[in-house]
Structure 1
Amino acid sequence: MNETGFLSPGFPSPGFPSPAPLRSAASEHTPLLHRPSRGTLRRRVSTVTVQPTRPPGRSTFRQTLFNACALLLGIGMLSEPLAFSYAGWIGGTALMVFYGYLTCYTAKFLARITITDPTVRSYADIGLKAFGARSASIVSVIFCLEIFTLSVILETLYADSLHAVLPALSSNTYKLISFVFLIPGVFLPLSALSYTSLTGILSTICLVLVIFIDGLSKTEAPGSLIDPAKTSLLPDSWKELGMAFGLFMAGFGAHAAMPSIVEDMAEPDRFEEAMNYSFGFATLFYSLIGMAGYLMFGNDVSEEVSQNLLGVPGYSKGLNQLVLWMLVLSSLTKFPLALRPLNVTLEIIMGLDTLRDPHSIEHAKSDHGYEASTKTFSTRFGKRILFIAERSFFVFFAVIVSIFLPDFGAMMAILGAFTTFLLCIIGPLAAKMSLEGFNMRDSLFLVIAVPMAVWGTTVAFMPM
């Protein structure tokens, strides 16, 4: 997630075919006794074949850990208490540990393929290697769906947080007002948007601290860690358990970035250690947030645990308002960054990516003269209009979808049960079996994961 945990799907890297031995016309007339043997030809070819090599990475082990943890820890933590309320203590703990282990296992496979094959540069390259050229389009579509769903979730989080602080206007009204901020934001350069990642990290840290400060500052329920609310050991229904599948999985959706992270490691032989630490920390972090929120608010916890902070007497109102304002700011600033990979992918397909390279126009003018430059200007003007329309349309579409599907928990469940399951569990396991052969453990994981994904996605579209 570049920050968002948010990365573009990328495009398959070109392969590196081994050069075939060339045969000159003179060789046709060379006497048989003077022709080199096949073994000699193989040795000669092997000496001149250039194997692709991967340049050394620059990230230290600690930097790799930070990047991986920053991608894993995101807005998924807001729905972890709700996931525990759906699954209960036993189901929630089992799912959290299982998903943490399983996503770490598949991330190690992606990392191992990236290290052993220098032609692999992105997640799409792994799909290309395992399933062929058709997989690239499928992977790109799934990525685009994930990115768009995430943008809708960010819009919902912004409006709900702002409505909690300033209830004078409805959440839908705030969503419409967001056009004023979001449309200019999607045209900002990536270099400017990258600095907004800091607001997301700060809001995450502050929210965690405030939850524990609030919980320990109260001695009586509701909202107290000292006097916990009423909770359950097991889920109340299979439907709620299905919702928990997606909510828990949504927090581990960072596999799209794993090839890039591993590729930049200065010590690639330590990638398994890095995966163990980062996924272990994410599992522990999400467990603490989920358990703390569930203890404090029980089965009455909101879809976003942040929404409970202002509704409980006895908390520091100023401190909780500060956290909600940070979530508002973080959502607004992360929205253009989250949507950027989808914009870039569509612009490449539509031939609009040259608008980001001003040198191409100058080159055309210098080579073809005034007439060609005039034609180029006309074409560029049309592309610019299409470029503006495309980026504005997806802001409009995300806001409209957020208005008609305002359920934060349901959208997080859809994100986790559908795209995250596909990209982080089902896809890597299928690729592993395709490249490394049948494995009983992988088959068992796949048999468990597919029904979870189907059931979780189905119930996410049902009314609770």
Structure 2
Amino acid sequence: MKLDEEYGLDRRIGFETDDEENQAERAYQNDDNDDTDSDIVLPSRNASIDLNSPSWPQTYRKSMDMYTSVTPPPSLSFLTGTSFKKISDSFLTSPYKRSHPTLPDSSFNKPLITATSLDNEEVPPSTLPSKLSTSSYSSLSFNELPSPQQCSYAQSVLNAINVLCGIGLLTTPYALKEGGWSSLLLLFVMGIICCYTGILLKQCLDSSPELKTYPDIGQAAFGVTGRILIAIILYMDLYSTCVEFLIMMSDNLSALFPDTHMDFAGFHLDSHQIFAITATLIIIPTVWLQDLSLLSYVSAGGIVTSVLLVLCLLWSGVIDKIGFHPSGTALNLAGLPVTVGLFGFCFGSHSVFPNIYSSMKQPSKFPSVLIISFVASVLIYAGVAICGFLMFGDSTESQYTLNMPKKFVASKIAAWTTVLCPFTKYALTITPVAFSIEELLPLAQQRSYSVSIIIRTVLVISTLVVALSVPYFESVTALIGSLLVMLVSIILPAACYLTILHGRLSKMQVAVCIFIVIAGVLCAIVGTYSAIASIADKMG
């Protein structure tokens, strides 16, 4: 490759990208340019990397694409029998197969960010065909994963809102109670910062057409070490979310059936433990599915779920005459660290933003997609926080559905919605973690469906053990928000942006990013300490 002399060797980054589609694209390029391109690999400015195989994880993008579709895949039709046969056949009957053809070594020698791409402030996404040949695409082929589709502007907005409006919605009244009315300002500030850092991720992706995922960005900024660390953080976030699902389901089922208990083999199980175990037993078969397209379609109704929960809350306050009663303090400094973690948890969707960006028909409109989705999400969060706190005051629980009187129909609808929604999301959330572990196995075990079942079953059971050991929804949520979300949504985007685009940023841009990193680190330290102390107190 010919380098532009004005940038020199330090602007050349030569290491492998992360997902199989990118590898196939580079192989496609090499087939056309073998006569003109040499195989020279120059060292990264971060580290000298010389790997013979692509870096872990390779399955991240394909597994995360399941979160970025508000429409069913073209192959899924509810009006034909074939779709149901496809789903039924995928359940413990289809062999778990992956093919691993070897891509040309030269495909891994091309730099992730070239000097040419660094010439331009904005580099458009790759213009290679989005649908590659079967041989190129089969590097890591998973039957579970729908093919990525190009999304319209409206679909992209819905996708972004869908991933932003999650289970954090239930905790906002409690967060407001802990921090006081002035903490609402913190919600808006965090929304603005997270929206800005989402745009920073887009700028990082634009620095090279080869960048497609968050781990790609981490590798471009900090080498393979950065890629692996970011991937681990992202997978920890997904895993901990699954733990939250189990705690949330057991809490709400316990509220619906509070007198449930069991004595078995000398052990006494209360309602929380019984329902956590029951939910796990029901969830386990869903993670065995080979085709998750139906779950992906159903879970895309997260916006509908959020709207339904909001309507149930308003119905209880107005129609069921619970009423709105002003209470609370202006600012509670003692509870502010908890509020930071809970509000932070609401904006932990940055791991999916690169997928949404890559799937857009018009990627240049991604900043406006983020702005619209963040404005909508912040308004929803603030509205629920205010209404819930006015309704339940100082008795507000960690999930406002636990406060709603169960004698009302709206309360039962809200509780069952909170219970059923995680059933569709759990398998989609744990699957990327399972894939990442399977990648580390020898090739023979990677092709074994029984090994895949064992890994996924063990993962689910492990989340049950954690949920039973630390069944404190608000504390676990605050810990995730303070530690993992602060890293993924605030600290790392700004740090990667500074590293990848250094030398081309204004002093103001550098100052803003440094401020964001410092503020994120301080919030992470204070919030994490507070959450861990709270868990320790409750367990002690």
The AA in structure 2 aligned to 1:108 is I
The AA in structure 1 aligned to 2:288 is F
With structure 1 as the length reference, what TM-score do the two structures score? 0.79
Equivalences, count: 392
Distance 2:489 2:436 in 1: 21
Q: CA deviation at 1:200?
A: 4.0
Q: Is the 8 A contact 2:312 2:413 kept in 1?
A: no
Determine which of 431, 444, 450 is the counterpart of 2:496: 431
The AA in structure 2 aligned to 1:402 is A
1:207 aligns with 2:309: yes
CA RMSD of aligned residues (A): 2.6
Specify which structure has the higher proportion of helix: 1
Q: Is the 8 A contact 2:217 2:227 kept in 1?
A: no
Determine which of 158, 162, 179 is the counterpart of 1:70: 162
Give the 3-state SS of the residue equivalent to 1:173 in structure 2: helix
Distance 2:327 2:320 in 1: 16
Residue aligning to 2:323: 224
Q: CA deviation at 1:233?
A: 0.6
The AA in structure 2 aligned to 1:389 is I
* Higher RCO, 1 vs 2 (CA within 8 Å, ≥6 residues apart): 1
Runs (4+) of structure 1 moved beyond 6 Å?
Answer: 15-18
Where does structure 2 lack aligned partners over 5 or more consecutive residues? 1-16, 40-115, 117-123, 131-148, 261-270
1:322-348 per-residue CA deviation (whole Å, 9 max, x = no partner) reads: 221122111223222211111111111
Determine which of 266, 272, 287 is the counterpart of 1:186: 287
Residue aligning to 1:195: 297
Determine which of 485, 496, 500 is the counterpart of 1:420: 485
Q: CA deviation at 1:192?
A: 3.1
1:130-185 per-residue CA deviation (whole Å, 9 max, x = no partner) reads: 11111111012111211111000000111111111122321111112223212111
Give the 3-state SS of the residue equivalent to 1:133 in structure 2: helix
Residue aligning to 1:165: 256
Residues 1:140 and 1:165: Cα distance change in structure 2 (over 3 Å): same
Residue aligning to 1:177: 278
More displaced stretch, 319-328 vs 425-434:
319-328
Residue aligning to 2:126: 53
Q: CA deviation at 1:199?
A: 5.7
Q: CA deviation at 1:253?
A: 1.0
Residues 1:272 and 1:163: Cα distance change in structure 2 (over 3 Å): same
Residue aligning to 2:112: none
With structure 2 as the length reference, what TM-score do the two structures score? 0.68
Residues 1:52 and 1:178: Cα distance change in structure 2 (over 3 Å): closer
| Residues 62-461 of structure 1 mapped to structure 2, 5 A cutoff | 62-90=154-182, 92-169=183-260, 170-188=271-289, 189-198=291-300, 200-217=302-319, 223-225=322-324, 228-235=325-332, 237-238=333-334, 240-310=335-405, 317-351=408-442, 383-437=448-502, 439-461=510-532
Residues 1:351 and 1:320: Cα distance change in structure 2 (over 3 Å): farther
The AA in structure 2 aligned to 1:234 is L
Q: Is the 8 A contact 2:243 2:463 kept in 1?
A: yes
Residues 1:404 and 1:59: Cα distance change in structure 2 (over 3 Å): same
Q: Is the 8 A contact 2:246 2:280 kept in 1?
A: no
More displaced stretch, 168-177 vs 345-354:
345-354
Distance 1:423 1:275 in 2: 16
Give the 3-state SS of the residue equivalent to 1:155 in structure 2: helix
Q: Is the 8 A contact 1:115 1:263 kept in 2?
A: no
Give the 3-state SS of the residue equivalent to 2:533 in structure 1: coil
1:108-148 per-residue CA deviation (whole Å, 9 max, x = no partner) reads: 11122324421011111111111111111101211121111
